[in-house]
Amino acid sequence: MAKESGIAMSIAVDDSGGSARTISNDITDFSLNTPRNVQVITGLDKSAEERLQLLADFSCTINGVFDDASNMAHAVFATVPSSSVARTVTITVSGQSLPNETFFNDYALTRAASGELTWSAPGTLSGGTVPTWA
């Protein structure tokens, strides 16, 4: 496998009705995390930490430019404050995809002094399924 850039990635997020909407055109950047919890179980007889690996998790923050066109970013995230539904987030790059059921806990809009209107939407794993690239 060759090294690749993140150019031409795709991100789809379900709207509150459960329809996947590809909003990649509105996204300027994002971050994702797939951490594993650990429990320190070091006994008194050890000279170094001993751990058990525990539950997997997923979180993301998606950032973009305001777009209120039909089925684009604003239509997807505007219902975050008024609906309590998990949304499938599917991140795809080079034929590899990472789908996760996600709760978004904010849809923050920022109007900068220069006039740009941007948004940020942080989400966390909701469904208890281990994040797995396929």
Between the alpha carbon of residue 108 and those of residues 2, 39, 66, 87, the distances in Å are 37, 34, 11, 17
| Length of the chain measured in residues | 134
N- to C-terminal Cα separation, the chain: 15
Are 101 and 88 in contact, with CB atoms under 8 Å apart? Answer: yes
Task: Say how far apart CA 82 and CA 70 lie, in whole Å.
Answer: 19
Q: Is residue 132 part of a domain?
A: no
Please list, in sequence order, all residues whose beta carbon lies within 8 angstroms of the beta carbon of residue 4, skipping any fewer than 6 positions away: 93, 94
pTM over 0.85: yes
What proportion of the chain, given as a percentage, has pLDDT over 90?
93
pLDDT reading at 14 higher than 70: yes
pLDDT reading at 1 higher than 80: no
Q: Is residue 1 part of a domain?
A: no
Q: Is residue 134 part of a domain?
A: no
Q: Is residue 37 part of a domain?
A: yes
Count of domains in the chain? 1
Q: Is residue 101 part of a domain?
A: yes
Where does the pLDDT of residue 4 fall: very low under 50, low under 70, confident under 90, or very high at 90 and above? confident
The predicted structure's pLDDT at residue 8: 87
57-79 per-position pLDDT tens digit: 999 999 999 999 999 999 999 99
Give the domain range for residue 34. 10-125
